[in-house]
Structure 1
Amino acid sequence: MTDRFEKGLNVRKDVLGAEHVARSMANVSEFNKEIQELVTSWCWGDIWTREGISRRDRSLINLAILTAMNRNHEFKVHVKGALTNGCTPEEIKEVLLQTAVYCGVPAALESFRNASEVLAEWEQETDGSSGRA
């Protein structure tokens, strides 16, 4: 494995959780191996490790982009990542309200539904306390 891959794998685990990443990597096959390596090296190793903006800000940007693209599975994964990166439910709500104007109300409504599910799970995992699990 390359240094980029290893850096990316570490950031991916920090943001999305080691358990989530382990599940993703356990599902790697000969067919999808290259895309997992690309995502880990490029997205997480090259982009998420840059110093230009914080992980917290990257998370908020991802939520807006994933709402615009209607990528619900990835959106849910990144809501949890946003919480891990220190984003508050209030900040997530504000981003989703912003997406209603620029991406459309149906997309924002779907993201609100998905975020509500993740926030409820987060509250249970953290025993109702705010912040990291």
Structure 2
Amino acid sequence: MTERLDKGRHWFDAVYGEGASHGLVAMQQGRAQDLARLGIEFNFGDIYSRPGLTLAQRELLSLASLVTIGGLEPQLRGHTRGAIRAGCSPTEVLETVIHVVQYCGFPKALNAIRVVTDELVELGVELPEPLGPN
């Protein structure tokens, strides 16, 4: 279990920043710490650590999934930061949200793009210009 947790912490911190995995567990109380640790072990120790996709690709896929599910704004903000940290451009992040509109519909995509855009602005990255008339 320690190896799995260590692997998970490595990838979690790669996405969210140094020490973030310890912070996630520490902000929980009681058995909620177990759930946070299990999430780090499974999501990041088992899934993110698999070969075949780059961290940037994984972050774009995570964004696409969160947009289609909807209602997960804190995770959407976190994975927007993670995507930029992993080397994705603001265009790639925003185009990922635009791409999934065909699967999730305009309400979810419009809500998500607002959250993502706000997060990109907060990060201080330059937003790409619109392609069409506004």
TM-score after normalising by structure 1: 0.87
**1:16 alignment counterpart:** 16
Runs of 4+ in 1 over 2 A off after TM superposition: 18-23
Root-mean-square deviation (CA), in Å?
1.6
**Structure 2 portions without partners, runs of 5+:** 127-134
**Structure 1 portions without partners, runs of 5+:** 129-133
The offset of 1:120, in angstroms, is 0.9
* Partners of 2:106 and 2:38 in 1: CA distance: 33
* Partners of 1:116 and 1:23 in 2: CA distance: 25
SS of the residue corresponding to residue 88 of structure 2 reads coil
Residue 30 (str. 1) matches residue 33 (str. 2): no
> Partner amino acid for 1:12?
F
Instruction: Provide the identity percentage.
Output: 29
SS of the residue corresponding to residue 18 of structure 1 reads coil
The offset of 1:15, in angstroms, is 0.9
**1:118 alignment counterpart:** 119
Residue 93 (str. 1) matches residue 94 (str. 2): yes
TM-score after normalising by structure 2: 0.86
CA distance 1:19–1:119, change in 2 (3 Å): farther
* Partners of 2:103 and 2:46 in 1: CA distance: 28
CA deviations 1:71-119 (Å, max 9, x no partner) are: 1110110000000111111011111111111111011111111011110
* Partners of 2:41 and 2:26 in 1: CA distance: 17
Question: When the two structures are aligned, how many residues end up with a matched partner?
Answer: 125
**1:131 alignment counterpart:** none
